[in-house]
Amino acid sequence: MNEMTIKPLTVNDLAAMKQRGEKITCLTAYDASFSALIDKVGVDMMLVGDSLGMVIQGHETTVPVTITDMVYHTRCVSHAKRRAFVIADLPFMSYSMPEMAATNAALLMQVGGAQMVKLEGARVDIVSFLVNQGVPVCGHLGLLPQSIYRLGGYAVQGKEPAEAAKILADAQALQEAGASLVVLECVPAMLAREMSTQLRIPVIGIGAGIDCDGQVLVLHDMLNIGIIKRPRFSRNFMKEAASIEEAIHAYHQAVKQRQFPMPEHSF
Ligand code: KIV
């Protein structure tokens, strides 16, 4: 595509994709080179995830990641992208109070160039505060990696009916507070399907089955270059690809054509 004809995706485009049943593709990105490549392939969104704490910095969890780290990597990604929509994570403890959340969201957007910020948990108060200041917000429910020390492990969430009902109610509350998207991590596919049907906003799944409105994977997992074991819900797209670009293209196509995730990647 000619540089002049590239139209950056907006939050309205993402909502329209849900409306017409087109799957939304997303990969994590942390630097300019991968950002340019992912964008060139046509992946719809890039998430500058605090998973960078694990795949870039070599920590065991996302907890040590700071807002300075996030702003730095978000800036690297934003500089190189043309069309993809860029979401950046608010890291652990950077949104515990509304004013703090606003200051850090401003850093991610003004310095980092993000178009939306993501935060974990049913923080309806914070989402509402940010949205009222004009900050687009993505929620994150199900498995919450920033709460790993409270959860005690990376287990599937929402298996019990009461737990599933709470996740659905939390998502509805985030939507009513003004969230534009929600990431749903490691929940049963049936729950994710119900949530994607009931919510107006797009549901982006990771380990949440085929029926979500879109999918996200950690880049290093799908390229099989992570230092920790690839989770069951991911897939090694390098296995049948001759290049990284081909692997990213295969992922993008598989999601668009509903060929990923398969039952073996779901719970
Ligand atoms: O940080 C991250 O990469 C994420 C994804 C796992 C959704 O939040």
Atom 8 (ligand 1) nearest CA: 49
Please report the pLDDT score of residue 3 as a whole number.
Answer: 62
pLDDT (tens, 9 = 90+) of the chain, 267 residues, equals: 566 689 999 999 999 999 999 999 999 999 999 999 999 999 999 999 999 999 999 999 999 999 999 999 999 999 999 999 999 999 999 999 999 999 999 999 999 999 999 999 999 999 999 999 999 999 999 999 999 999 999 999 999 999 999 999 999 999 999 999 999 999 999 999 999 999 999 999 999 999 999 999 999 999 999 988 999 999 999 999 999 999 999 999 999 999 999 999 999
- pLDDT value of residue 50: 98
- Ligand 1 center to residue 240 CA distance, Å? 25
pTM score, whole prediction: 0.97
Nearest to 59 by CA among 146, 141, 117, 138: 146
Distance 4 CA to ligand 1 centre (A): 32
Q: Which residues are catalytic?
A: 185
Which residues contact ligand 1 via a Cβ below 6 A? 28, 47, 49-51, 89, 183, 185, 206, 216, 218
> Can you give the residue ranges of every domain in the chain?
22-265
User: Residue 85 — left, alpha, or beta (φ > 0 → left; ψ -120 to 50 → alpha)?
Assistant: beta
Q: What per-residue confidence (pLDDT) applies to 2?
A: 61
Which residues make Cβ contacts (< 8 Å) with residue 176, sequence separation at least 6?
Answer: 124
22-265: what CATH class? alpha beta
